[in-house]
Amino acid sequence: MTMSARMRIKSCGLLALLFLSSATMLWLFWHHPLATGIATIAVLGGFGVLIRLARAMDTELADLEPGKQGA
């Protein structure tokens, strides 16, 4: 199977973005370990809160679908 040029560019762009992000995180952790650790925990905690909110909204919306409402 052949990859199109656009797909190869997207793949290389994604790899470059991931590499840049990883390199930045390593540099920050090397120079500012405590602040980087605290910021990482805060961001992951924020993602956790967003996941719980998304699940709560999803279940509320599923309850409002036609045919699932109480009589």
Three state DSSP letters for the chain: CCCCHHHHHHHHHHHHHHHHHHHHHHHHHHHCHHHHHHHHHHHHHHHHHHHHHHHHHHHHHHHCCCCCCCC
Q: Decide if 40 is inside a domain.
A: yes
Q: How many domains are there within the chain?
A: 2
Q: Looking at the structure, tell me whether residues 25 and 36 fall in a common domain.
A: no
Mean per-residue pLDDT for 13-26?
96
Domain that holds residue 25: 1-31
Residue 71 lies in a domain: no
15-27 mean pLDDT: 96
Shared domain check, 37 and 20: no
Q: Looking at the structure, tell me whether residues 25 and 37 fall in a common domain.
A: no
> pLDDT of 24-44, one tens digit each?
999 999 999 999 999 999 999
Question: Does the pTM of the predicted model rise above 0.75?
Answer: no
Please report whether residue 69 resides in a domain: no
Q: How confident is the model over 46-67, as a mean pLDDT?
A: 82
Query: Does residue 24 form part of some domain?
Result: yes
